């Protein structure tokens, strides 16, 4: 039921886009205005709540629990695990927005909080880039991944979001209510990741134009989507341990080379100082920045940046959660939260500081106009920056390769997850299912590119994610119920290793018992 219903809904959207693209765009535009005007505050409040919850879980007694049996150990080496987390999750955004967002904020500071082109605007530009790509994104991914990892590996449930709702819905989680949750999860996941594919196609299209002089436009973008769809579908069909793992490791290597090249050949001292000052301001103004909304007329800006980014992460929540759960068996809750929240956030902060900071420094001190190039064509930002460094054609080629690899690694992880969600949570979906979802993802990306380009991609991400906020709240409630029911209250005394009764703890290594014969 989940497979056929999800396929039918997705197909209807494709048909709608082909038959009446203008009507589809106007409907989505009306929907986005209504959602952001009435419920934009929910996108701001939820990540803060999740951050507090995850910190509490990591620091408390529950932090020692493994995602799996007590004797399970991690399936992947730590560096491979981290590479898969970063590259398969949000990699394409590093290329699409790594320069474009900071330089755009530098030229037009958020909420008019600084004068354009000033040092204050430079710090503010990175501060708000950190906001959109740091903890606010990863708390959403982490809560899904944690809940699903616990459910799949420790409770031995299928890899379905509906299975998380058993503590709340009981047997109804396996009935029509659960099916509805899974169908909507597929729908939100499909459109959230389709947004990423569209952005990747736009970036690759511009990169090929810079390198080879190929014509840009929707025709070229459609061809790119078709070719990449074939590649990522085949990669997904090869499984997590082969295609997704190897492309992620290659991605990380190429990205590291490009990062170090710009860091050491660029204004290194300036970039380090800008990173530290922006990080300090991000930390000190975290709560204020997180809750700043469109009360005073910034709705259009919020729709283009903050609401779009947060909605994008919400729509990615289930997809990333299933993928994180799949690759995190054997990790403790504390380790999972620490790595998933900390390492990708810091890596993304450093990336935005080096590439976005380099563009800002060039415009401030060397008379370039990267901000103007970006305003005219957002996909030119990365290439305009690298053009000011040695070997511009070589680095441009690396960016195109990176975009292609990020495109493939993110899309094949998405295809794999869609296959899981529509085959009763199978960790090895059948190849025809994977190929079918790969084709559907590519078709949707093409429809959105043809109907409205970047604007259509942003609108679809926001509208499709809005009801999913309620699913996240449900996931949190059910996960906490699961923990309390299975592991005991957070402040409970430890349990006996043999009979599971609560006992008083002894010093570490002392297994003499508590006086009643209980092992501690």
Query: Taking Cα atoms as reference points, which of 458, 460, 467 lies closest to residue 24?
Result: 460
Domain extents for the chain? 2-487, 494-520
More confident residue, 91 or 227: 227
Residue for token pair 């530098």:
106
Query: Taking Cα atoms as reference points, which of 322, 332, 334, 326 lies closest to residue 71?
Result: 332
pLDDT category at 460 given cuts 50, 70, 90 is low
Query: Taking Cα atoms as reference points, which of 470, 403, 393, 446 lies closest to residue 184?
Result: 470
Region 159-168: mean pLDDT is 88
d(CA 32, CA 94): 25
Taking 90 as the threshold, does the pLDDT of residue 282 lie above it?
yes
Taking 90 as the threshold, does the pLDDT of residue 126 lie above it?
yes
Q: Cite the beta strand spans of 63-174 per DSSP E.
A: none
How does pLDDT run across 164-215, given as a tens digit for each residue? 999 888 888 888 888 888 888 887 777 777 777 777 788 888 888 888 888 8
Give the angle 291-294-296 at the CA atoms, nearest 5°.
115
DSSP readout, 5-38?
A: HHHHHHHHHHHHHHH-HHHHHHHHHHHHHHHHHH
Give the angle 86-89-90 at the CA atoms, nearest 5°.
85
Q: 454 near 378, Cβ under 8 Å? A: yes
Taking 50 as the threshold, does the pLDDT of residue 497 lie above it?
no
CA dihedral 171, 172, 173, 178 (to 10 degrees): 150
Query: Taking Cα atoms as reference points, which of 9, 46, 39 lies closest to residue 474?
Result: 46
More confident residue, 299 or 448: 299
Residue for token pair 């730590």:
78
Please give the pLDDT value at position 500.
42
N residues, the chain? 520
Q: Considering the chain, what is the average pLDDT of its residues?
A: 82
pLDDT category at 23 given cuts 50, 70, 90 is confident
d(CA 265, CA 259): 10
Region 336-345: mean pLDDT is 93
pLDDT category at 505 given cuts 50, 70, 90 is very low
d(CA 281, CA 272): 14
pLDDT category at 452 given cuts 50, 70, 90 is low
User: In the CATH scheme, what is the code of domain 2-487?
Assistant: 1.20.1740
């Amino acid at each position: 039921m989940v497979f056929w219903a999800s396929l039918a809904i997705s197909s209807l959207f494709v048909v709608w886009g082909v038959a009446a693209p203008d009507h589809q765009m106007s409907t989505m535009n009306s929907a986005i205005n209504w959602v952001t005007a009435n419920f934009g505050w929910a996108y701001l409040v939820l990540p803060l709540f999740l951050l507090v919850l995850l910190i509490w879980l990591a620091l408390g007694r529950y932090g020692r629990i493994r995602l799996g049996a007590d004797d399970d150990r991690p399936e992947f080496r730590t560096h491979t695990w981290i590479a898969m987390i970063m590259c398969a999750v949000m990699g394409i955004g590093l290329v699409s927005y790594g320069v474009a967002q900071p330089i755009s904020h530098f030229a037009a500071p958020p909420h008019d909080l600084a004068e354009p082109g000033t040092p204050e605007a430079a710090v503010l530009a990175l501060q708000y880039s950190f906001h959109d790509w740091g903890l606010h994104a990863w708390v959403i991914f982490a809560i899904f991944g944690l809940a699903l990892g616990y459910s799949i590996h420790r409770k031995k449930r299928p890899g379905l979001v509906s299975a998380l709702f058993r503590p709340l819905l009981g047997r109804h989680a396996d009935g029509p209510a659960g099916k509805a949750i899974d169908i909507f999860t597929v729908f939100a996941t499909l459109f959230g990741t389709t947004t990423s594919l569209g952005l990747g196609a736009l970036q690759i299209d511009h990169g090929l134009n810079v390198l080879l002089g190929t014509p840009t436009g929707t025709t070229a973008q459609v061809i790119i989507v078709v070719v990449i769809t074939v590649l990522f579908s085949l990669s997904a069909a090869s499984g997590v341990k082969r295609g997704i793992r190897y492309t992620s490791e290659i991605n990380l290597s190429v990205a590291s080379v490009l990062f170090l090249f710009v860091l050491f050949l660029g204004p290194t001292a300036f970039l380090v100082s800008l990173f530290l000052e922006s990080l300090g301001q991000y930390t000190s103004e975290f709560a204020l920045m997180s809750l700043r909304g469109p009360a005073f007329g910034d709705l259009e800006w919020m729709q283009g940046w903050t609401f779009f980014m947060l909605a994008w992460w919400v729509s990615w929540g289930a997809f990333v959660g299933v993928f994180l759960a799949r690759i995190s068996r054997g990790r403790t809750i504390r380790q999972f939260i620490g790595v998933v929240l900390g390492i990708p956030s810091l890596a993304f902060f450093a990336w935005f500081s080096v590439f976005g900071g380099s563009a800002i420094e060039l415009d401030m001190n060397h008379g370039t106009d990267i901000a103007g190039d970006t305003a005219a064509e957002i996909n030119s930002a990365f290439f305009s920056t690298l053009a000011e460094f040695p070997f511009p054609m070589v680095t441009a080629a690396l960016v195109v390769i990176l975009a292609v690899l990020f495109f493939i690694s993110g899309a094949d992880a998405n295809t794999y997850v869609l296959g899981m969600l529509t085959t009763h949570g199978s960790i090895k979906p059948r190849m025809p299912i994977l190929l079918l979802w790969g084709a559907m993802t590519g078709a949707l990306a093409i429809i959105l590119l043809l109907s409205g380009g970047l604007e259509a991609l942003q609108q679809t991400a926001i509208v499709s994610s809005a009801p999913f906020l309620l699913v996240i709240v449900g996931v949190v409630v059910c996960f906490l119920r699961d923990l309390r029911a299975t592991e005991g209250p957070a402040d409970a005394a430890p349990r006996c290793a043999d009979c599971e009764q609560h006992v008083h703890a002894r010093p570490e290594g002392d297994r003499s018992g508590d006086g009643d014969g209980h092992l501690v």
